[in-house]
Amino acid sequence: MHLVQLLLPLYAHDGERLPAALFGAVRAELVQRFGGLTAYSRAPATGLWAEGPGEGVEHDDIVVYEVMVATLDRSWWQAYREELTARMRQKELVVRAQRIETL
């Protein structure tokens, strides 16, 4: 079993707020394909990073969507990440997976 997390920014790379309908579409796509999801969207998290030494710190307000999958289809997730990166007008988007054990 794997837990796949999508870290989705609330704003496009140019600073424009992304429409709520975009997040609704992603939720619907994931629920349809995987049968459910968990969304952490009430209080956006803040992601911070520096491109390199001496660079200014960038930030994003993000929501996190999680999906549990029995098997990890890496090629599907990579293609979906690339699609979401374009739809959300980002330079990069984080989709990560970790093996989990349900208790």
**CATH number of the domain that 79 lies in?**
3.30.70
pLDDT at 86: 96
If you average pLDDT over every residue of the chain, what do you get? Answer: 89
Flag whether 6 is in a domain.
yes
pLDDT at 75: 96
Question: Do residues 62 and 45 make contact, with C-beta atoms less than 8 angstroms apart?
Answer: yes
Q: What integer is the mean pLDDT of 65-83?
A: 96
pTM metric for this prediction? 0.83
Q: Could you tell me the CA-to-CA distances from 63 to 23, 27, 37, 69, 102 in Å, in that order?
A: 9, 12, 13, 20, 24
Of residues 40 and 58, the one with the higher pLDDT is 40
pLDDT band (50, 70, 90) for residue 53: confident
Question: Do residues 48 and 59 make contact, with C-beta atoms less than 8 angstroms apart?
Answer: yes
Q: Is the pLDDT of residue 44 over 80?
A: no
Q: Domain span at residue 39?
A: 2-45+65-99
Flag whether 57 is in a domain.
no
